[in-house]
Chains A and B, each alone.
Chain A
């Protein structure tokens, strides 16, 4: 027990007690663990299959395994850094136990160390699930020795530590420099500026020319971007490739340099915290007290905007938006996730069909791109939903008694949650699905059909998220971002992939029939009939999923 940092003990003992308590909760944990194992196995098998499929290309030297490895590590590094920054803001500035901890005779070093461990534990599962299985498959494919399998996880661990320390340091800088009440405005301003920069750079002739090349060169450019010197994944990929060949000199140097970077970030965070943390925390508390709002005005706006919804649901929807808009961690996460959306669209624009290919090849290529657009856009929406929709029930927290004792059924509470999140998510989905379809040059009907697909899938994902969020509701959190890193959240992501597979069947049938059948049956209204029937089938699938999910969720909440 002495080896476990003091501040980690409540988390670890809580997890132990949950598992040992038995019953329904234990069953849920076990299900989550099984899904995790399934996901890890799937990642391993997929990587092995991909490497085996590309064996000839790799062995002939046409495909350098360095690029995908570097890209994987860079992606994981960015994901862990972003998640760590959000978790660290919650853990260092907004957590409920801070008053207790800061009034305890606990040194700042121990406090910061405990918080760093907490952040690392809550964000490192991404590397365990997505990174390590791929790395093992990589090592097995190249027939690496035991030394590779021992040294590569150490490198991954250091990669996590660098990302976590960067996130913690970023959170401390943010908390120190930005007054919390102005943080939201500042983030939105930064986001809008980035958006402006994105559109200006996208429309500049040089970039457009570079992006709108053939798909092969565009993909190569995408992969090469991760092998640049500034890319964080570059060094670790380089070290892992050296380990593959049994060379330890470079790997050792990179490992030492990474450890030095972790130490430097720790020292920087420690000194920043010792000088500014107390004042930043005090300022956060004081500024919360001086905020005055126009309650009557906001109620009048709510009545006007949501006048078409019955009063109890309107109350829940309005409350959801107000609470969301006033929570700084939500704003940060939203800014980051919208940035992911734009990065996705930016990259997807590069997948232009080869202009010189035959007509039937072009048709098939477009069909493939349309389906890929749906699948990738779906994953982007899953990312956003897992951050906001899935935790929305748990975020009721200790205030949940208000809904339990109110004359509103749990089913209505869940329906109101679905309505609250469906409105913004359908807009985001419509924009992403439509922009993706437009970027690949689809015709108007297909663009509209993609947009409708986005809206229907957003409904399904929101319903699934709310239902599962109710089933795995965890009301006793210390800070809000904890909810997004629990077993249920992971299960939601895994089930979303299954949900995507189910939805892809009608989508492939619809787009396939639209692209191929009109040539065979020349009838004016056949494209509309095909798309209409496909969308109806898709809507039926999603409606059934939402109904089942809400039913399970409301039963679970009632039984609490």
Chain B
């Protein structure tokens, strides 16, 4: 469903993402792990068409992002790590805006908006300006916007940041349900327990390069620690790379 081939992103002499290649199968949850500054968000921003890679190619659902960006973007739902939305729109107006950008039929749009607002418990605040929302509410609204057009791929960057325990639990259950219904979920996180609990496949990125890819079992085999949990394996693989 998602394919990255030799993707590199440079900012001047600094290499943020270095020759990354990944193949993410359709359906299921793929967790993308790394310490702060490892290159997770840069990779995600390239996958959503926000940034252009310095070299390499990315395709989503068979559409190459450099050749058919609009087709690729139309099947992606993206939840960023910081939910910067339009503060002067109401929650519902923002969802109308997203539906219109995806050129959805207005009756279908109304129905989907009602569904996602109900699913994320935002009906009560739907007519209030986004500037009055809390961080968690903005995060939930961003998730609604990513789902409202029925995407085939959901890309979520650090989804648990700013969510209360109820919100976090609800999101985890929802992600599992979406994956079961056939949606491909690409989840970037540095919460290892979230990845361990949800992911079918995972990749560990460090200093812009992929260290390990596969199922949890594959990574255990790679590190040679059959009985270890993900936290120990992750710490071993990324040893000495934390920011201080």
Binding site for B on A (CB under 8 A): 23, 288-289, 291-296, 298-299, 303, 310-312, 314-316, 318-319, 322-323, 326-327, 397-399, 401-402, 404-409, 558-560
Chain A residues within 8 Å of B131, by CB: 288
The number of residue pairs between A and B whose CB atoms lie closer than 8 Å in the complex comes to 100
Chain A residues within 8 Å of B93, by CB: 293, 295, 298-299, 319, 322
In residues 49-87 of chain B, which contact A (Cβ within 8 Å)?
49-52, 69-71, 73-74, 76, 78, 80, 82, 84-86
Within the complex, which residue of A296, A303, A315, A405 is in contact with B50, where a contact is CB–CB below 8 Å? A405
Please tell me if B201 contacts chain A, counting CB pairs below 8 Å: no
Chain A residues within 8 Å of B88, by CB: 322-323, 326-327
Min Cβ gap A476→B in Å is 11
B50 touches A295 (CB 8 A): no
Min Cβ gap B33→A in Å is 22
Chain B residues within 8 Å of A405, by CB: 48-50, 73, 76, 78
Nearest-CB residue, chain B, relative to A410: B69
A291 touches B129 (CB 8 A): yes
**A198 to B128 CA separation, bound complex (whole angstroms):** 38
Central interface residue in B51, B91, B93, B126, by most chain A CB within 10 Å: B93
Please tell me if B237 contacts chain A, counting CB pairs below 8 Å: no
Chain B interface mostly helix, strand, loop or mixed?
mixed
A312 touches B84 (CB 8 A): no
Min Cβ gap B104→A in Å is 8
**A408 to B89 CA separation, bound complex (whole angstroms):** 20
Pick the 5 closest A-B CB pairs, nearest first.
A315-B100, A295-B92, A398-B84, A407-B74, A289-B132
Nearest-CB residue, chain A, relative to B133: A289
B90 touches A295 (CB 8 A): yes
Chain B residues within 8 Å of A316, by CB: 101
Min Cβ gap B150→A in Å is 13
B127 touches A292 (CB 8 A): yes
Please tell me if B103 contacts chain A, counting CB pairs below 8 Å: yes
Within the complex, which residue of B80, B82, B129 is in contact with A293, where a contact is CB–CB below 8 Å? B129
B97 touches A288 (CB 8 A): no
B102 touches A319 (CB 8 A): no
A406 touches B50 (CB 8 A): no
> Can you show 14 pairs from A to B with CB atoms below 8 A apart?
A294-B127, A296-B92, A299-B96, A310-B103, A314-B100, A315-B100, A398-B82, A401-B50, A402-B86, A405-B49, A406-B102, A407-B74, A407-B102, A409-B69
Chain A residues within 8 Å of B100, by CB: 311-312, 314-315, 318
**A23 to B11 CA separation, bound complex (whole angstroms):** 11
Nearest-CB residue, chain A, relative to B92: A295
Nearest-CB residue, chain A, relative to B128: A292
A288 touches B132 (CB 8 A): yes
Min Cβ gap B143→A in Å is 14
Beyond contacts A288-B131, A322-B93, A326-B129: 19 other A-B pairs, Cβ-Cβ < 8 A, are A288-B129, A291-B128, A293-B128, A294-B127, A295-B90, A298-B93, A303-B106, A311-B101, A311-B103, A311-B104, A397-B84, A401-B50, A402-B145, A404-B48, A405-B48, A405-B73, A406-B73, A407-B73, A559-B52
**A6 to B106 CA separation, bound complex (whole angstroms):** 51
Min Cβ gap B128→A in Å is 6
**A233 to B82 CA separation, bound complex (whole angstroms):** 49
B101 touches A293 (CB 8 A): no
Within the complex, which residue of A289, A407, A559, A560 is in contact with B70, where a contact is CB–CB below 8 Å? A407
A399 touches B70 (CB 8 A): no
Chain B residues within 8 Å of A289, by CB: 128, 132
**A558 to B50 CA separation, bound complex (whole angstroms):** 8
Nearest-CB residue, chain A, relative to B131: A288
Chain A residues within 8 Å of B12, by CB: 23
Please tell me if B98 contacts chain A, counting CB pairs below 8 Å: yes
B101 touches A401 (CB 8 A): no
Nearest-CB residue, chain B, relative to A313: B100
**A318 to B101 CA separation, bound complex (whole angstroms):** 12
Central interface residue in B76, B100, B104, by most chain A CB within 10 Å: B100
Chain A residues within 8 Å of B48, by CB: 404-405
B86 touches A319 (CB 8 A): yes
